[in-house]
Amino acid sequence: MKKNIIYILSFISKSIEFELVAKLLDRDKFNLSFILLHDKDSYMEEFLKQSGINTYRINYSGKKNVLSAISKIRKILKKEKADIVHCHLFDACFTGLVAAKSIGVRRRIHTRHNSTIHHAYHPGTVKYDRLINRLSTDIIAVSSVVKDVLVNLEGADASKISIIHHGFNMNDFDCVSNERREKILTKYNFGKDRPVVGVISRFIHWKGVQYIIPAFKKLLKEFPTAHLVLANAEGPYANEIEKLLATLPQGSFTKILFEEDVYALFKTFDLFVHTPIDKDSEAFGQVYVEAMASKVPSVVTLSGIANDYIKDNHNAAVVSFKDSDGMHLRMVELLNNKALRESIVITADREVREMFPIIEKIKKLEMLFSKGSR
C-alpha cells in the first residue's frame, strides 16, 4: 500500500533539489503532496502544479500567521491522510511538526538545514530548534557537522538522526553551452579581461566575504586585470561589504543580485572562492559541490560539508579561517601553477560526482520513508 508523504516547505521560491525529488521519488510506493508556506506566488508552486503534484499554498509571512498555519496544516494532513510529513526550514518545521503531532501523524521528519547560526546569532531561537528535534521521529542532517550540533549542542537523540547529503543532477553542469556562457558575460559586461574570481554568497557576516575582498585587492598587484564577481550580493552585512568594495579600483568588480542560470555563471569563473568563518557556520554549502562539478578550481575554508571530503591540494586549495593573506597567496598559486590547478579540477570533479548524485539521495530518502514507525 502506498504511503502518503506530505512535504512542508517555508519561503521556498525555487529549488532545483525539491524539483528533482518531485520528479524522481518512486510513485509506485509513495503519494507525494506539498504544502508551501509563502506570501506570494512562486516558481516552486507553478512547477509543482504543472507537474501534476498535489500542492497547497498557505498564506504565510511570519510569526503572526503561526496559529492559523498550524490549523490549516492540520486540516490538509487529515484530508490527505498523511502517513509521513517531511518538513524543511524553520517555519515549516515548527508549524508542520506541531500540526502533525497534534493529529497523531506517526512519522514526522525534518531536514535540518542550518548548523550553529541560531546559537551564534539568534540564541533565543535555539529552544524552538530543540522543540522541533523532540517533535521529530526522524531527523535528517545534511552533513556530519549538523549531526554534531544536533547531538552535542542541542541534546537530540542520535538514534533519530540520519546523514543524507544534498544531491545534484550532474548533467546540469555538463550541458552548459558556449552560448549560455557568453550570454552571462554579455549580460553583466565582465570577462573581457582575466582572471575572473567568482564568489556566490549572500552578504552575511559568517560567510566571510569581508576577508575575500582584501585578498582580491592584493591579487590585483600580480594580476591587474583580474575581475571579482560577487553573486547573491545582498544581505544584512551589506554596509560593511560595500565599504570594502569602495577600496577596489573602479570597474574591477561586478555585483549580481540573482542569476537564474547559475550553471552558466560558474563557467565564467577562473577561480571560485568560498570562505565561511568557522567549521560549522555552513550546514552544507552547496556551492562547494557546484564549483567542483563546474570544473572551477576553488580556494576554500573547511565549513559544513567541506569538513567531510575536501583536502588541501587534492580537490581544493584550503586556507585558514579569516585569513585574507592566505587567500591571496592561494589564489596566486592556483593562477600561476597550471599543473596543480588541473589536478585539483580533475580530482574534485570526479569525487563530487561519486559522492553527491541526486539518485543516491533519492534512494536514501526512499529507504527512510519505507521504515516502520518508531
Cell of residue 5, nine digits: 508523504
Q: Alpha-carbon dihedral of residues 156, 159, 160, 163, nearest 10 degrees?
A: 100
Q: What share of the chain is helix, strand, coil (3-state, %, to 5)?
A: 50, 20, 35
- Give me the percent of the chain exceeding a pLDDT of 90: 98
| Region 52-81 average pLDDT | 97
What confidence tens digit (pLDDT) does each residue in 172-225 have? 999 999 999 999 999 999 988 899 999 999 999 999 999 999 999 999 999 999
Confirm whether 3-167+357-370 and 171-355 share one CATH topology: yes
CB 11 within 8 A of CB 89: yes
Residue 1: band (very low, low, confident or very high) from pLDDT cuts 50, 70, 90? confident
Q: Listing from the earlier edge strand, what are the strands of the sheet with 54-59? A: 54-59, 30-38, 3-10, 84-88, 107-112, 138-141, 161-163
| Region 236-245 average pLDDT | 98
What confidence tens digit (pLDDT) does each residue in 115-144 have? 999 999 999 999 999 999 999 999 999 999
Say what the pTM is: 0.94
pLDDT of 20 reads 95
Q: Where are the domains of the chain?
A: 3-167+357-370, 171-355
Residue 374 pLDDT exceeds 80:
no
Residue 373 pLDDT exceeds 70:
no
Q: Which CATH number fits domain 171-355: 1.10.1060.10, 3.40.50.2000, 3.30.460.10, 3.30.450.20?
A: 3.40.50.2000
| Region 6-19 average pLDDT | 96
Topology (CATH) of 3-167+357-370: Rossmann fold (3.40.50)
Residue 245: band (very low, low, confident or very high) from pLDDT cuts 50, 70, 90? very high
Mean pLDDT of the chain: 97
Q: Count other Cβ atoms within 10 Å, centred on residue 370.
A: 12
